[in-house]
Chain A
Amino acid sequence: DAGVIQSPRHEVTEMGQEVTLRCKPISGHNSLFWYRQTMMRGLELLIYFNNNVPIDDSGMPEDRFSAKMPNASFSTLKIQPSEPRDSAVYFCASSLSRRQGLPNEKLFFGSGTQLSVL
Chain B
Amino acid sequence: AQSVTQLDSHVSVSEGTPVLLRCNYSSSYSPSLFWYVQHPNKGLQLLLKYTSAATLVKGINGFEAEFKKSETSFHLTKPSAHMSDAAEYFCVVSEDQAGTALIFGKGTTLSVSS
Contacts and interface: CB of A to CB of B under 8 A. Distances in A.
Nearest to A88: B100
Contacts of A85: none
Given A43-B43, A43-B46, A106-B107, A37 B102 contact: yes
B33 to A, nearest CB: 13
Nearest to A112: B101
Interface stretch (B34-42, B64-72, B73-81): B34-42
Interface residues of A, number: 22
Interface string B21-64: 00000000000001010101101101001000000000000000
Interface residues of chain B: helix, strand, loop or mixed (majority)? strand
A39 B107 CA distance: 21
A106 B88 contact: yes
Nearest to B9: A106
B38 A107 contact: yes
B111 interface: no
Contacts of B44: 35, 42-43, 45, 107
A109 interface: yes
Q: How large is the interface on B (under 10, 10 to 19, 20 to 34, 35 or more residues)?
A: 20 to 34
A106 B49 contact: no
A69 interface: no
A71 to B, nearest CB: 23
Contacts of A37: 99, 102
A42 B36 contact: yes
A45 B38 CA distance: 11
A104 interface: yes
A43 B107 CA distance: 16
10 contacts: A37-B102, A42-B49, A43-B43, A43-B44, A91-B102, A106-B88, A107-B90, A107-B104, A107-B107, A114-B101
Interface of B: 34, 36, 38, 40-41, 43-44, 46, 49, 88, 90, 98-102, 104, 106-107, 109
